[in-house]
Amino acid sequence: MESFDISLHLYDELCDSGDEDGVLQIVTTQWDSGCVAIDPIDDSIHFDMPKVLAYALEKICGEHKHLYRDFCNVNELLDDAVILYSPKVALWLLRNGADPTYNFGSAFDTACENGYTDIARYMFAHDEIYTVVLPDENNPIVKALQKSHMDIVNMVLDDMRSEAAECHVFLARIACSNGHYHIIEKLINTGKVKPSFDDNYGIGHASKYGHIDIVELLLKYDDVDPSTNGEYALRRACRNNYIDVVRLLIKDKRVNPRNGKIRYAIDIAADNGFWDIVDLFIENDEGWYDF
């Protein structure tokens, strides 16, 4: 490490002096010392010390831009630059041919998870980024949401490209399941999703997880049907003992008291000893047992 520190010191001096031959010699020395390795099988380049390379590229990006082409795989180095949060390096690589979808968008994933908004924003401008934004729990936007990196989440919420539609729906699902009221509100108010998206997924899962504010929001819309999928919303609220959600749902005229699934919901509450919920049905008798 000491010899490397000396090399970096010399590197700084040579860069400052404008001695391009000296810079090239230092970069070559670092290459030979094992900072960069060549795979003997396929001659591919592997970076064993990304911190070293990010430092070197920071200098090369300044006065010696042409040198990187001889030593770097820009896509692999992009990953390293993002991991180390080197925005100058990452943005320069992206402007000079690095592919943000490389390695299944690993650099974009890292930027989203860590809240590197400046880097993520530049990557997000590429239409191809949606080819790696998959609708599952590993979605980089979901990671940003889970860690409250709202600037990154808002980039998606504000995106009007047609490719964003699937991501909007997925964000709506996560918002309703995890209780992100302002996100589902914004998605609905901006017309990105309908309140009844995905066959009333929102009302069902907000009820299931007890997010009463979202349940109240969704019940305001005429196209939302809280009785869909066999009274799924009511059944799940009863199973999980969310009495305030149950109270809202049974007062809604769209919930059919003569649906056989209602009795199933009451039985679930009784079987689990949630007698306050059972009493609630009795107090608000709309013929729940008349079938």
Q: Which residues contact 223 (CB under 8 A, 6 or more apart)?
A: 194, 195, 196
Distance of CA 210 to the CA centre of its chain: 23
pLDDT of residue 83: 81
Asked if 229 and 204 touch (Cβ cutoff 8 Å), the reply is yes
At residue 90, the 3 state secondary structure works out as helix
- Helix, strand and coil in the chain, % to nearest 5: 70, 0, 30
CA–CA separation, 3 and 81 (whole Å): 23
Which residue is listed with tokens 């949401």?
A: 145
Which residue is listed with tokens 């860069």?
A: 15
Give 147-197 pLDDT, tens digit per residue: 889 899 988 888 877 777 878 888 899 899 999 999 999 999 999 899 999
What are the E-state strand segments in the chain? 36-38, 45-47
Which residue is listed with tokens 């600037």?
A: 151
pLDDT of residue 148: 85
pLDDT of residue 257: 67
pLDDT of residue 17: 57
Low-confidence ranges of the chain (pLDDT < 50): 1-8, 10-11, 20, 23-24, 26-40, 42-52, 62-71, 291
CA–CA separation, 228 and 210 (whole Å): 18
CATH of 194-291, one of 1.10.357.10, 1.25.40.20, 3.40.50.970, 1.10.3330.10: 1.25.40.20
pLDDT of residue 84: 72
Asked if 133 and 170 touch (Cβ cutoff 8 Å), the reply is no
Q: Which residues contact 214 (CB under 8 A, 6 or more apart)?
A: 175, 176, 179, 181, 184, 202, 206
pLDDT of residue 244: 96
Nearest CA to 157 out of 147, 216, 144, 111 is that of 144
Domain spans of the chain?
A: 1-72, 194-291
pLDDT of residue 238: 94
Phi, psi of 189 (to 5 degrees): -65, -30
pLDDT of residue 187: 93
